[in-house]
Amino acid sequence: MVSSNRPDCTTGLLKFLEDPRYPSVGPHLRFLGLIGLWRPKNSNFKRFKQFHFYVTILFFCSQYVKCLISMNSDSVMLILKYAPFHLGIAKSCYFRKDCKEWEKFIDFMSSIERKQLAKKDEEYEVILKEYIKRSRRVTYFFWGLAFFSNFSIFSEPYQYNQIVENGTSIYQHIFDGYTPFSWEPPGYYASMAIETVLGLTVSAYVITWDTLVVTMMIFFAGQLKITRLKCVQTIDLSSRSKSHENIVKCHIFYKDLIKYQKKFNSLISASMFIYLVVISVNLGVCIIQIAKIEDDLGTLISSCEFVLACLIQLLLFYWHANEVTEESKLVSYGTFESDWVDSDKKLQKEVALLGLTTTKIFVFKAGPFNVMSLATFISILRGSYSFFTLLSETN
């Protein structure tokens, strides 16, 4: 009986995460609302979530202050080892700073999807449902991967707590932030409880921001497919005025996509640049630590799992950004697939003009120079390996 109820529970949870007002990003907004980054409704919970947010920020910032004051290499290595968590601070701060712009963009993409679904056009619905389904698969897969990664990360320090050197027990920590408790039992367990709660909070910031960004990239790729379909359907041989109207609407829709693609790129560019720099160093550090592991299968597995999660996280961004770029190159081809040959010369000129204006290549950038593509992803892996060899030679 228990096993038969599990699918119903899972289905119920997935339905709860959905929001018809936001076809693509419903689950993400539910999660963002839960952690206090998206339109909290209840004033009491809003104050608590804001307080929790600032406590989390202060805790992680205290690590950098302690690191600068003590200049301890172990503290630096600990920060580098768990760099993706620290990136959550930057991502959440940028999100809070640009919250109004995020809301405008989310409202734009959701209004487009609701209108397209309301039209009951079979060809549009196929594209819409396909990319929304794909978004859900990526999102839930990444959330599941993060859950198992967090389980191994937050349980790993306890495996080393009984190591004794010169008669002194060593107690490992996940983060090196300030807590008002001793770093030895019983205060150690209180400190670890605080680190775990705040670490899980930052992890929630990271995975929600990441999957939201990937979902928006999938949205752009899907809408570019729809734009190409609009180009194919521009010519209505039974009505010249209808054909002209279709061309105008297609042009306006495409220009809106360009406008919001630039806005979206500006929202993620700074965070992605920080992520690019930190994750490149982090991969090298983690690989060095894996190379030093001897006769500890559990630590080796958890470390490899963490590196794999970082690589998958990076690949998700660059794969889908690359897909948007490739789809943008195909939009203008839709004008050649229309019935322009059988239309009059004036409409043919309008179709030709539409074909020229839809040749814009959509590119996402991490910072001012780094283009997000599969070629760049391979370059990052090479850079991480070079960093690994450099550190290996210096140690």
Statement: residue 293 has pLDDT above 80: no
Contact 86, 199 (CB under 8 A): no
Q: pLDDT digits over 205-256, tens only?
A: 988 999 999 999 999 999 999 999 999 999 888 888 899 999 999 999 999 9
Length of the chain: 395
Give the dihedral sign, CA 29/35/37/43.
positive
Query: Percentage of residues in the chain with pLDDT exceeding 90?
Result: 30
Task: Inform me whether the pLDDT recorded for 178 exceeds 90.
Answer: no
Please state, in angstroms and as integers, the Cα–Cα distance from residue 371 to each residue in 90, 221, 321, 322, following that order.
20, 17, 9, 9
Contacts of 121 (CB under 8 A, 6+ apart): none
DSSP 120: T
Give 246-283 pLDDT, tens digit per residue.
999 999 999 999 999 999 999 999 888 888 877 777 77
User: Please, which pLDDT band fits residue 368 given cuts at 50, 70 and 90?
Assistant: confident
For residue 2, the model assigns a pLDDT of 41
Domain boundaries in the chain?
2-394
Q: How many Cα atoms sit within 13 Å of 75 on the Cβ side?
A: 16
| DSSP designation for 160 | G
Is the pLDDT at 1 greater than 50? The verdict is: no
Q: What is the pLDDT of residue 28?
A: 92
What's phi and psi for 8, nearest 5 deg? -65, -40
Q: Which two tokens stand for residue 133?
A: 């389904």
Q: Tens digit of pLDDT for each residue in 326-349?
A: 999 999 999 888 888 888 888 889
pTM here is 0.86
